[in-house]
Structure 1
């Protein structure tokens, strides 16, 4: 019972933390604000349901305790020697029945808690995923980079590749925003197909995407970045009756332990700027 109540408390506390993080991140990212508010409301709603369950469990436990006290009083009140065996047997049967009822209530509560926990996990995942592309969103990328920096040792080499779809605005202007969305989704799939589980991909914002790379050395890091950028720039998107050729520019920044995340973004963004300045469809390492 104590374990069950502790689990409830932990889940509710976790929901509060997730909702708080979502609220803080929502202040930094206005372009995803409406979607994040929806997920935040969903998580807080689940937290309210868990609180209702915890209150019901507490009430059930209190009622069960009162029954046990009542049964104990009944045993103590039995004074007639001839009546004691029958009285004791009847009381024991009542106790067994009460315990069985309590077990059923606890099993039901545990099932509901498990269901709510799955909903929390799903909502939390959605809050860290870009809806259009299915990649990690900016919040998840920030957390991943932070973890990489805090756990990185001097023998590890990691880098952040920022890529921007060249002339993306022309797709929206020429074919409409639905086609533009298809370009973004297809570009994201190309990144995933190229990287697999070997790197961490995210939508940075708009038509910009980020890939976190792990390498043996600086030369290997640059090679991986070039491979990813070249791969996504060789894809042709087939959408309705259109065949769209897209290219991408890229900028790479090697990650340095204890460096602020903002500094890594700035260096990668500067590389991206240099790639565009040099004519696009290239990388700056």
Structure 2
């Protein structure tokens, strides 16, 4: 009888253990599913994760982070490798090092690998401490903000550039020139107007007028060859600014080349009127303001128009 009772108790205990194990397994499975769901959500939102074990000096990466950065996980002897290999843009450990340093303020970096598009990452780290307030782990989060970066860059370009000519617009020109003019020893500021532009619009139509403005902008790019700050101030008025005018710079030749190139390119576009420029160039010395520089170049431009247009005037 006693054996039978003990056996029943054993069965009950075994059954209870099985039920407990089943409950634990169910909860563990649900927890894994929940964590897997959050992981997929984070991956869909372009989040990448890393964890730095301070005592073991080891960085563990999530699979997407390791794939994106081209690193194997875990990265052992991390701090020693950073000292030996360095941490600067282009080096493998640079993103991880920057992420660990972003616990006070988010950082933004550019990461690129050979043959793959560059990623723009927003970094933030969280420090986890033990009961004695000693730092033990750092969890880093890297968010891919490439799409947002390019979207904002396009909006910035749209706000700063003239929609027709793709030169800097009037507001951008003024802001740039106000903070730049007077900060170099010798500079050059040029104003240009298209001669008889109203006649172009009245005779050939506004579509032809827009083409002329586009040609002028392209001619400026060709002549300047990437040098200087180019802008459209409004209507048919353009400007060019060279911050550091070298002694060997031939201002006369530059002005002549601008006018000649505009005429040539308009002829190539078969515009049915001869297109020329009136140009006023001001050589700037000392601590001049934007207002002073504009007035000086505008005076030179006025003199060019008084002399019959299709010419340039240089005031030094």
TM-score with structure 1 setting the length: 0.60
Change in CA separation of 1:163 and 1:127 when aligned onto 2, cut-off 3 Å: same
Say whether 1:260 aligns with 2:196.
no
Paired with 2:250 and 2:243, the residues of 1 have a C-alpha distance of 7
Larger fraction in strand: 2
Q: Where does residue 199 of structure 1 map in the other structure? A: 228
Change in CA separation of 1:221 and 1:241 when aligned onto 2, cut-off 3 Å: closer
Q: Where does residue 102 of structure 1 map in the other structure? A: 38
Paired with 2:298 and 2:184, the residues of 1 have a C-alpha distance of 24
Change in CA separation of 1:234 and 1:99 when aligned onto 2, cut-off 3 Å: same
Superposition pairs for residues 231-246 of structure 1, below 5 Å? 231-238=260-267, 242-246=271-275
Q: Which runs of 5+ in 2 are unaligned?
A: 1-15, 48-143
Instruction: Answer whether contact 2:229 2:240 (CA < 8 A) is retained.
Output: yes
Paired with 1:202 and 1:284, the residues of 2 have a C-alpha distance of 19
Q: Which runs of 5+ in 1 are unaligned?
A: 1-79
Change in CA separation of 1:130 and 1:216 when aligned onto 2, cut-off 3 Å: closer
Match of 1:91 among 27, 33, 49: 27
Superposition pairs for residues 1-285 of structure 1, below 5 Å? 85-110=21-46, 114-149=146-181, 152-154=183-185, 157-217=186-246, 220=249, 222-223=251-252, 225-238=254-267, 242-255=271-284, 259-285=288-314
2:249 match: secondary structure: helix
Q: Which has the larger radius of gyration?
A: 2
Instruction: Answer whether contact 2:219 2:258 (CA < 8 A) is retained.
Output: no
Instruction: Answer whether contact 1:162 1:250 (CA < 8 A) is retained.
Output: yes
Q: CA RMSD in A?
A: 3.0
1:235 match: secondary structure: helix
Question: What is the aligned residue count?
Answer: 203
TM-score with structure 2 setting the length: 0.55
Which portions of structure 1, spanning 4 or more consecutive aligned residues, are displaced by more than 6 angstroms?
A: none
Larger fraction in helix: 1
TM-superposition CA deviations, 1:117-144 (whole Å, max 9, x none): 4222212211212122122211222233
Moved more, 127-136 or 114-123: 114-123
Instruction: Answer whether contact 2:256 2:312 (CA < 8 A) is retained.
Output: no
